[in-house]
Amino acid sequence: MAKFIGRRLVYLLPVLLAVTLLTFLVASLLPGDLASTILGDQATPEKVAALRAQMGLDLPIWQRYGIWLWDVLHGDLGRSFRTGETVWDAVTARLPVSLELMVIGVALALVISIPLAIVCAVKSGSALDRFFTGLAFGKLSLPNYMVAILLIYLFAVELNWLPATGWVPFAEDPLANLKSFILPALTIAFAEWPVLMRVLRSDMIATLQEDYIAMAKAKGLRPARILLVHALKPSSLTLVTVAGINIGRLIGGALIVETIFALPGIGRLLVGAIYARDFIILQGVVLFVALGFVMVNFIVDMLYAVLDPRIRHGRA
């Protein structure tokens, strides 16, 4: 076990290096740079060159990456030239917002999708199954920016139960904080549940056809027990995989949801940094997101072994 964790940690470093290097390289290829952005309509070639030199942008890519890496290894994530705030402050101010959104959103999605998937798998082919299938695809056809605005019109404008926009820190007012997350989290949950429900249903239908399920039934076990204890676990592989990927992506922020509900999350920070070519912020965010991804995938891989004991870890 310890060996497994140790192996995973060793694997973490090259991944972080590869992601940040790749991001640095590709982002450097994008037209325009921070100097031109800052200078705007005053971006004469001379001024741009002068500002680039001042910002250290005229050094070769390898050197710039190396300097960044060196600073990071010494605990200094840098400071945005554009806003003056440190990368650490910028990211840690917004990460909790995105994390809370992700946790509540995915939890709601699972609460919706797992029971529905079980029901549809058991009654596969029936009218109920068809209905929920239709609902799932109907929901997929309504993208999250549509759902968001519909939810806002209903709950914020018409009923005035929940706020349309904004965020209150948990420490300041826990109830207001939760209220401000309900609509955005619902938007995310509604976006995620169709795929999660469908993959679980798919895998469950296949599992329910297995011999050992027939045997369990023959042994006289109650259907509920068979379902939840014997069938659900091994069917959850794809569900866990997809949920893991979605959670990882959500750590990187949910740009559209954050924009519509005006939540100060990682997504807006990331996109703002990309559009302004503010690399130091971009690198900082990518570092955190990559860290998050690796951790989530680590958990997902551990879950594989838990869910399906037939999967052992590694083989030379």
Partner 1 sequence: MTSIASRLFKIMLPLAAVAGVAASPALAQKKGGTLTVGVELDIAGFDPLKVGVYDTSPNIAASLFLEQLTRLGDDGKPKPSLALSWSASEDYKVWTYKLRPDVKFSDGTPFNAEAVAYNFNRQKDPKNNCRCAFYIANTLSVEAKDDLTVVYTLKDPAVNHPALLTRPDQNSTIHSPTAIQTKGDDYNRNPVGTGPFVIKSWTAGDRMVLEKNPGYWDKNKPNLDRVVLRPLPDAQSRFASLVSGETDVVWADEYEADNIARARKNNALKVLEYVGSGAGVAAINTKVPPLDDVRVRQALVMGLDKKKISQALTNGLARPATNPYGEGSWVKCKDDGALPTDPKKAAELIKEYGKPVQFKMLFTATPRGRATSQVYQQLWKQIGVDMEIEQVDQATFPPRAFQRKFDIIGWRIVDFPDPDVQMFANFYSKSPLNLANYTNPELDKLLEESRATPDEGRRTEAYCAISRLLNKEATWFWVFQNSYYAMTKAKVQGIPKLYGGVIDVSNAWLD
Partner 2 sequence: MAVLELENDVASAAPASRPRRVGILFVGSVAWIAVIGLAGIFADWLPIQSPTDMDLLAKRAPLFSPGHILGTDHLGRDELSRLIYGGRVSLLVGLLAPVIGVLIGGCLGMVAGYFRGRLETFAVGGVDVLLAFPPLVFVLAVTAFMGQSVANITIVIGVLGIPAFTRVARAVTLTLSEREFVTAARALGATHSRILIRELLPNVALPLLAFFLLAVAVTIVVEGALSFLGLGVPPPTASWGSMIGEGRENLDIAPWLAFLPAGFMFLTVLAFNIVGDTLRALTDPRPGAL
Question: Binding to partner 2 (CB under 8 A): which residues in 64-93?
Answer: none
Tell me which residue has tokens 């023959």.
218
264 sits near partner 1 (criterion: CB under 8 A): yes
Stretch that binds partner 2, among 97-105, 107-115, 177-185, 249-257 (CB under 8 A): 249-257
Question: Residue 52's CB: how many other CB atoms inside 10 A?
Answer: 17
As a dihedral over the C-alpha atoms of residue 118, residue 138, residue 246, residue 232, rounded to 10 degrees, the angle is 10
Give the Å distances, CA to CA, from 298 to 20, 139, 182, 293.
19, 31, 29, 8
In whole angstroms, give the CA distance from residue 280 to residue 273: 8
Containing 127, the helix (H) or strand (E) segment is helix 127-140
Q: Which of residues 155-214 bind partner 2 (CB under 8 A)?
A: 195, 198-199, 202-203, 205-206, 208-211, 213-214
> Which residue number, 168 or 271, has a Cβ lying nearer to partner 2?
271
Strand-pairing partners, residue 86, are 79
Query: Cβ(293)–Cβ(248) under 8 Å?
Result: yes
Query: Cβ(293)–Cβ(99) under 8 Å?
Result: no
Q: Which of residues 8-37 bind partner 1 (CB under 8 A)?
A: 31-33, 36-37
Question: Count of residues binding partner 1 (CB under 8 A)?
Answer: 52
Contact string 159-188 vs partner 1 (x = CB under 8 A): -x--xxxxx---------------------
Q: Which of residues 264-293 bind partner 2 (CB under 8 A)?
A: 270-271, 274, 282, 285-286, 289-290, 293
> Which residue number, 48 or 205, has a Cβ lying nearer to partner 2?
205
Q: Which of residues 67-126 bind partner 1 (CB under 8 A)?
A: 79, 81-85, 90, 93-94
> Which residue number, 180 or 207, has a Cβ lying nearer to partner 2?
207
In whole angstroms, give the CA distance from residue 202 to residue 238: 9
Amino acid letter, 279: F
Contact string 124-163 vs partner 1 (x = CB under 8 A): ------------------------xx--xx--xx--x--x
